[in-house]
Amino acid sequence: MKIPRWGTKAAGIVVLTLVFSYACGGVKPGVAMIKYQFDEMLIQNLGTMFLPSIVFASELSGKNTAKQWVLKSTMRWFPFVGYVTEQGEYKQVVEDEDTIAKILECQANDENHVDEKGNLVENETQEDEVVPAQSQPVLDLSIERLRDFDYLLSNFYIVDSSTMIGPEQLNADALLSENMKIDQSSQGPKILIFHTHSQETFADSIPGDPSTSIVGIGEYLTQLLNAKGIETIHDTGVYDIINGKLDRSNAYENAETSVRPILEANPSVEVAIDLHRDGVAEETHLVTDIGGKQTAKIMFFNGLSRTRTNGDIEYLYNPYIQDNLAFSLQMQLACERMYPGFARHIYLRGYRYNLHLLPKSLLIEAGAQTNTVEEMRNAMEVLAVTLQNVLIG
């Protein structure tokens, strides 16, 4: 049987639609608009081929009745088109409802995944630093070089496979032009240090002694900054212990609930630092020599509120993402200028991590469970100088 030319075209369009829908896996963020536009084109083409007079009349009248009729007819003639469309819509709704808890759980655990006893389960932040650095390559920190997106990304960042970033966000001119200086003319504290994961400890921490945990390290950093004339307050609240057991499932939400009233009571605070220690393989030792002292390395950690799977995460909205990126990059470059090798690459991940509390918010992974308390204290001395350089000059 000879197939009419319009039949061949229609079949081709439908087959192409099926392939497109299958490749997209239904409607996904970032693809939804393209698929919507493609569906519109399909409807228009089918309408033009099958019912040109009706479509023409519909376009003249500005109504969509012809298109709606064509769509319904198409779904009757080719049922799988309707099935694909319905499956795409259903999948989108299910993802929106079912992934929220999973995403919040990932956010709670992903810096270093531990069991209820605090033992490391797996290393989430994949770094290749294993031995103390003997010498560090000198990086070109000129603005001309930093304007090269590929150079900037490869030399200063690690992008987790769960998320993505482009040159519009990592624009060196924009990020480095943001003013990170704090207002020293007004009274009151300028920096707040807190710990979402208060139970993090080190190789020689004393059980039951918080002064040898990340909280004690935060207290030492607080003292150093106050001694430099940068008034700093330290929140020692515990947000990862529930009913006497380690439970990080709601640690970020718990921390936000307590930290927000502190910020409201201290409106002079311009900088919020969530201080952590990383979790690494037991053979990894994040240390470098600075001034003859064995010093734990640090890492700035940014959340982009965006995953490859779900796109922008609206319920983890952060209006300060660019400010956060500017702050961490300026800190990274200051470290590189003054203490090459002290700062690991900035880690970019998909969630929020309470970085929406203030424009100048930092999440710092200082050392790891394999570092000693002394190495951590040495790192705080270097970090305090770097903060002073960026915030005051």
For 365-391, what is each residue's pLDDT tens digit? 999 999 999 999 999 999 999 999 999
Q: Higher pLDDT residue, 126 or 385? A: 385
Cβ neighbours, 10 Å, residue 335: 23
Q: Taking the CA atoms of the chain, what radius of gyration do you get in angstroms?
A: 27
Quote the pLDDT of residue 310.
85
Q: Which residue type does 264 have?
A: E
Quote the pLDDT of residue 111.
53
d(CA 5, CA 38): 21
For residue 337, the Cα-to-chain-centroid distance in whole angstroms is 25
* Res. 153 pLDDT band, cuts 50 70 90: very high
Is the sign of the CA dihedral 86, 92, 98, 99 positive or negative?
positive
User: Per-residue b/e over 204-226, b at no fewer than 16 CB within 10 Å?
Assistant: ebeeeebebbbbbbbbbbbebbb
pLDDT digits (tens, 9 = 90+) for 221-279: 999 999 999 999 999 999 999 999 999 999 999 999 999 999 999 999 999 999 999 99
- Judge whether 233 and 189 are in contact, CB under 8 Å: yes
Quote the pLDDT of residue 63.
43
Quote the pLDDT of residue 175.
98
Quote the pLDDT of residue 33.
43
Quote the pLDDT of residue 133.
43
* Residue 10, φ and ψ in degrees, nearest 5: -65, -45
d(CA 215, CA 252): 16
Tell me whether residue 112 is exposed, middle or buried, using C-beta atoms within 10 angstroms of its C-beta: 0 to 12, 13 to 18, 19 or more: buried
Quote the pLDDT of residue 138.
81
- Judge whether 111 and 125 are in contact, CB under 8 Å: yes
Quote the pLDDT of residue 106.
61
| Pairing relationship of beta strands 306-307 and 311-312 according to DSSP bridges | antiparallel
Mean pLDDT of all residues in 174-184: 97
d(CA 159, CA 348): 5
Quote the pLDDT of residue 75.
41
- Mean of per-residue pLDDT scores for the chain: 78
User: Per-residue b/e over 306-324, b at no fewer than 16 CB within 10 Å?
Assistant: bbeebbebeebebebbbbb
Q: Taking 80 as the threshold, does the pLDDT of residue 202 lie above it? A: yes
Mean pLDDT of all residues in 164-180: 97
Is the sign of the CA dihedral 343, 352, 116, 262 positive or negative?
positive
Q: Higher pLDDT residue, 50 or 353? A: 353
* Res. 206 pLDDT band, cuts 50 70 90: very high
d(CA 181, CA 183): 7
Quote the pLDDT of residue 105.
58
Quote the pLDDT of residue 308.
92
pLDDT digits (tens, 9 = 90+) for 155-168: 999 999 999 999 99
Quote the pLDDT of residue 98.
43
Q: Higher pLDDT residue, 154 or 16? A: 154
Q: What percent of the chain has pLDDT over 70?
A: 65
d(CA 16, CA 45): 13
